[in-house]
Amino acid sequence: MKRLLIGLAILSFMLTACSSGDGSQSAQTDAEPKETEQKNDSEKEETYTPKEASYYEMEDLDRELTDIEKEMFRKPGVFSGEQYDEAKVKEALDQLPDDLTEEQYMEELLYLFAEDYHEEMQTMLTFDSTVDVSIERPDETVDTPTLKTAHYAILVDASGSMAAKVGSKTRMDAAKEAVLEFAKKVPENATISLRVYGHEGSNSEADKKASCSSTESLYSASFDENAFQQALSQVKPVGWTPIALGLQSVKSDIPKNTDEVVVYVVSDGIETCDGDPVQEAKNLVSADIETVVNIIGFDVDNEGQTLLKEVAAAGKGEFTYVNSEQELKKYMRAQYEEIQKKWFEWKEAGKEQAFKLKEEKKKLAFDTKESMKEKSTREKECLKEAQAYLKERFDDYEHPASKMFSTIVDYGNEKWRYAVDTGNRLYRESVDSGNQEYREYVDEGNEKIRETIDKKNGN
């Protein structure tokens, strides 16, 4: 019994000594690692600074950007495109902390690998798929002698010899019909004038002075069939042939701001009033307005043909000899062939430009789309490889970096899909607009050509 009491006393002494000595030391040892651990956590927080994405600005856009569009304006990553360096990439990935969130890891990877889409985005967001061909119409402002602010001046010989018969009609009646037929074919935006010369008095010697000094403008305006026909009906074959006076006076019939003038002189003979029609033709073509003088000799003898050819040559035009009503009408129809030709050229030029612009816009839409597809695919593959590297580095299925694969794929696919959808839409719009513009030129051109053919054929 005495031994038992002694043993208990010794055991009690030993526990008291472990508690006051070793126990105190043990508490201090446990506290030090905790303090060290807290200090390391603090250092990590101070060392890691979350990456803040920066973006290009898109100015003068009349709508808000969508979320994916905003993301496409993200500035490129350090290793984007040709900047990729595998060794440096791994080094950068090794420096990433092991305790970030999935969102933070994603931002870090985008900071490294995001591609630069801003030029393609600017192209797409400002893309105008409208194919708008603007070619001057022949009957409005075509820059040609017969079509652009052109004036047609018709001078009709009212000498008594025009009363001579040609078949069942007089020369004057045949000339009037041909002149009216031609006037109907003048382009809508052109002006036309009708001047008669030698229409006063008679073709007697006593009336020569009165007749040779007579010329009158009967019409000068845009073509109106009723008004023009009424003016033409006033012309009677009675007098002499003052061609020079007619050419001299025609200047006053030309409207201001006229670019070019085509003069048609319809006559059955030579100058009989002592004038100089050759000189007057030269005077016309030397004026500020470009002028061509065409002479239509109707049933003219050899001497008359020779003189009228000289007048036409001086007027930089042509002399045409006709000896029948059919030939006169044929000549006038030939003049309108030129107008018909201009409409055909207008149509073909419109078709060509519409096709060319359509192809240019198609190519721009396609190339922009393909560039963005290529970049989004490269970007996604880089992100996937980086995620696989981090997954192996952390070797923890539950680690945030291990769960990023689907996020990366969705992110890349959204960019790829935006490029495809937008590019295809702009491509289709360009095709539709180009085809429509093409058809409009074909339809209008064909319509105008049919109209000219009808007019030429007297329909």
The residue written with tokens 């291990």 in the block is: 402
Q: What is the pLDDT of residues 5-22, one digit of tens each?
A: 333 333 333 333 333 334
Q: Rounded to two decimals, what is the model's pTM?
A: 0.53
pLDDT attached to residue 327: 63
Give me the amino acid identity at 271: E
The residue written with tokens 């019409």 in the block is: 219
**Helix pair 171-184, 225-232: axis angle to 10 deg:** 160
Average pLDDT over residues 271-297: 81
Cα angle 437, 442, 447 (rounded to 5 degrees) comes to 125
Q: What is the pLDDT of residues 200-230, one digit of tens each?
A: 888 888 888 888 999 999 999 888 999 998 9
pLDDT attached to residue 38: 44
Tell me the pairing of strands 191-197 and 215-221.
antiparallel
The 8-class DSSP code of residue 217 comes to: E
Which carries the bigger pLDDT value, residue 210 or residue 137? 210
What's the pLDDT band for 31 if we cut at 50, 70, 90?
A: very low
Cα angle 42, 46, 52 (rounded to 5 degrees) comes to 140
Answer whether 452's CB lies under 8 Å from 340's CB. Answer: yes
What's the pLDDT band for 95 if we cut at 50, 70, 90?
A: very high
Q: Does the pLDDT of residue 39 top 50, yes or no? A: no
Percent of the chain with pLDDT over 90: 39
| SS3 at position 383 | helix
- Sequence-distant (6+) residues with CB within 8 A of 37 are none
DSSP strands (E only) in 175-332: 191-197, 215-221, 260-267, 290-298, 319-322
What's the pLDDT band for 116 if we cut at 50, 70, 90?
A: very high
pLDDT attached to residue 451: 78
Q: Does the pLDDT of residue 68 top 90, yes or no? A: yes
Please give the Cα distance from 112 to 107 (Å, whole number). 9
User: Which range is least confidently modeled, 105-119, 137-151, 424-438?
Assistant: 137-151
Q: What is the mean pLDDT of the chain?
A: 81
pLDDT attached to residue 417: 97
- Sequence-distant (6+) residues with CB within 8 A of 270 are 241, 243, 300, 303, 304, 307, 308
H or E segment and range at residue 344: helix 325-394
pLDDT attached to residue 383: 96
* Beta-carbon-side half-sphere exposure of residue 63 (alpha carbons within 13 Å): 6
Of 400, 407, 419, the residue nearest 123 (C-alpha):
419
Q: Does the pLDDT of residue 4 top 80, yes or no? A: no
Of 147, 160, 218, 226, the residue nearest 187 (C-alpha):
147
What's the pLDDT band for 269 if we cut at 50, 70, 90?
A: confident
Which carries the bigger pLDDT value, residue 281 or residue 127? 127
User: Which range is least confidently modeled, 128-132, 152-156, 328-332?
Assistant: 328-332
pLDDT attached to residue 108: 95
The residue written with tokens 């403008």 in the block is: 217
Answer whether 193's CB lies under 8 Å from 152's CB. Answer: yes
How many whole angstroms from its chain centre is CA 238?
58
DSSP string over 252-277: GGSPTT--EEEEEEEESS---SS--H
What's the pLDDT band for 242 if we cut at 50, 70, 90?
A: confident
Answer whether 386's CB lies under 8 Å from 93's CB. Answer: yes
Please give the Cα distance from 314 to 146 (Å, whole number). 19
What's the pLDDT band for 456 if we cut at 50, 70, 90?
A: low
Which carries the bigger pLDDT value, residue 398 or residue 28? 398
Percent of the chain with pLDDT over 70: 83
Q: Does the pLDDT of residue 399 top 90, yes or no? A: yes
pLDDT attached to residue 459: 60
